[in-house]
Amino acid sequence: MERYFIGDACIGWSLGSSISSGISDRVLNIYHTLKNRTDINGLGVRDIVPSYNAFAVYFDPATAPVQKIIGIIDEVVHTALSRKNVSAGGGRRITIPVCYTGEDLERVAKLNGLTVETVVRLHSAAVYKVAMVGFLPHFPYLIG
């Protein structure tokens, strides 16, 4: 785990340099845990933003007790990292309709030595999780 300042009103915590479902699950678990903690809600924390392998905590630099916030978050991070199995937390399944008539479908199948039907089956059978939401109007970044 690495902690670092991002300007004077944000601190980042990195859980690694790679992207994996395991790290993403830990980040999302920490995110949900922090969002539900009542002891940081009144400390000037403005937002908590998860990414694939890190998260950032934005705060009011004029009023936030930064060392207290760091202590609380470090405790949550260390607890999450010490667990063997960590769930990303609850969520709901959303089925996204896909039209498999794209001009590259046959090319993708051919390049991979598959039939078009196999490409469609493999693609539509996958289950992805939203690992983070980008700043483009709520653009989800998936992992899985």
pLDDT at 89: 64
Q: What are the pLDDT digits (tens) for 42-98?
A: 899 999 999 999 999 999 999 999 999 999 999 999 998 898 777 666 678 888 888
Q: 132: which strand partners?
A: 141
Q: In the prediction, which pLDDT does 85 show?
A: 73
Taking the C-alpha atoms of residue 70 and residue 136, their distance in angstroms, rounded to an integer, is 29
Q: What is the pLDDT of residues 26-41, one digit of tens each?
A: 999 999 999 988 888 7
Residue type, position 134, single letter: G
CATH 3.40.190.10 correct for 2-82: no
β-strands 2-5, 45-50 pairing = unpaired
Residue appearing with tokens 């939401």:
133
User: Would you state the pLDDT for residue 95?
Assistant: 87
10 Å Cβ neighbour count for 32? 17
pLDDT at 116 > cutoff 90: yes
What pLDDT, on the 0 to 100 scale, is given for residue 139?
84
Q: Domain boundaries in the chain?
A: 2-82, 105-143
Q: What are phi and psi of 97, to 5 degrees?
A: -70, 135
Residue 26: DSSP 8-state: H
Is 20's pLDDT higher than 80? yes
Q: Is 84 helix (H, G, I), strand (E, B) or coil?
A: coil
